[in-house]
Structure 1
Amino acid sequence: MPGHVILSHGSDAGPDATKVSALAKIAESLGWTTERPDYRADDAQGHAGSVEPRIARLHARIVASNVPPVLVGSSMGAFVSALASLEQPVAGLFLMATPPLIPDCDLALDIREDVPALLIHGWQDDICPLDEVYEFARRRSLPLLVLDDDHRLGAHLDELGRQFGFFLEQLAKHA
C-alpha cells in the first residue's frame, strides 16, 4: 500500500531540483503522496549551520504525516534525512550522494538498523568521497549502488528512477 514520501534537496538546490522533482513524479505515479520542503533559508546559514534547522524542519514534516514517510535526500538532504530518521519513525530511506560528515558539524551520518535503506553514490563524487560512504555502508551491511557519475548523479536520472520505483514497490509490499 503506497504511503507518503518527503524529498529533501541538497545545499545548492531547491525543492524544484532535478532529482527530487523526477523522483517525486515517480512516487506520485505509483500512488504515493509527496512533499518537498524548502531548505534554502536554512542553507543561508552555511553547511554546518543548516544541519540542525533542516532536521527540525524535517521532523515537523514527519510528525505532520499521518503515516511514517519514506525519506529521500540528495547530499545534505540525504544527511539530514538519515539523522531525522533516528528520532522519528520512517518507512525507509533513499539516500543519494550522502556525506558521512559535514565539516564543522558535531553530527555524523547514522541510520537505525531497522529502517530499510538504499544508498546511491557516484564513483567520481569529489564532494563526498566514495571511500567513506563505502565504509559506512560496509559496517552497517547496507545496500550501496555505485554509479559511474559525479556528485550530482545527473547522468543517471533514469537509473535513479528505476531504483526508486523498485524501492517503493518493495516497501509497499511489506507494509
Structure 2
Amino acid sequence: MPGHVILSHGSDASPDATKVSVLAKVAESMGWSTERPDYREDDALGHAGSVAPRIERLHARIAACAQPPVLMGSSMGSFVSGLASLEQPVAGLFLLATPALIPGNDLAFDLREDVPTLLIHGWQDDVCPLDEVYEFARRRYLPLLVLDDDHRLGAHVDELSRQFGFFLEQLAKRA
C-alpha cells in the first residue's frame, strides 16, 4: 500500500530541482503522496551550518506524518535523511550522491540499519568521493548502485526514476 515520501534537495538547489521533481512525479504516479521541504533558508548558513536546521526541519515533517515516510535525498538531502532516520521511524531511504562528511560539521553520515535503503552514486563524483560511500555501504552490506555520472547524476535521471519506482514498489509490497 503506498504511503508518503519526503524528498530532500541538495545544497544550492530547491524543491523544484530536476531530480526531486522527477522522482516526486514517479511516486505520485504510483499513488504515493509527496512533499518537498524547502531548505534554501537553512542552506544560506553554509554547508556545515545548514546540517542541524535541515535535520530539525526534516524531523518536523516526519513527525507530521501519520505513518513512517520514505525519505529520498540528494547530496546534503541524503546526508540529513540518513541522520534523521536515526531518531525517527522511516519506511525506507533512497539516497543519491551521499557525502560521508560535511566539512566543518561534527556529524558523520549514518542511518538506521533496519531501514530498507538504496544508495546511488556516480563514478565521477568530484564533490562526494565514491570511496567513502562505498566503504560505508560495504561495512553495512547495503546495496549501492554506481552509475557512470558525476555528482548531479543528471545523465541518469531515467535510471533514477526506474530505480525509485522499483524501490517504492518493493516497500508497498512489504506494508
Q: TM-score range by the shorter chain?
A: over 0.9
Equivalent residue letter for 2:148 = D
Q: Which residue of 2 is the match for residue 147 of structure 1?
A: 147
Unaligned ranges ≥5, structure 2: none
Aligned pairs for 1:18-167 within 5 A: 18-167=18-167
TM-score (norm 2): 1.00
> For residues 13-35 of structure 1, what are the alpha-carbon distances to aligned partners after superposition, in whole Å with 9 as ceiling and x for unaligned?
00000000000000000000000
Displaced runs of 4 or more, over 4 A: none
Question: Post-superposition shift, 1:139?
Answer: 0.2
- Secondary structure of 2:114's counterpart equals coil
Distance 1:103 1:15 in 2: 24
Q: Structure 1 unaligned segments of length 5 or more: list them.
A: none
> Letter of the aligned partner of 1:147 in structure 2?
L
Tell me the CA shift for residue 147 of structure 1: 0.1
Over the residues paired in the alignment, what is the CA RMSD in angstroms? 0.3
- Distance, in Å, in 2 between the alignment partners of 1:67 and 1:18 is 27
Distance 1:41 1:73 in 2: 17
Equivalent position SS for 1:119: strand
Q: Secondary structure in 2 aligned to 1:138?
A: helix
User: Equivalent residue for 2:169?
Assistant: 169
The number of residue pairs the alignment matches comes to: 175
* TM-score when normalising by structure 1: 1.00
Q: How many angstroms does 1:111 deviate by?
A: 1.1
Percent of aligned positions that are identical: 84
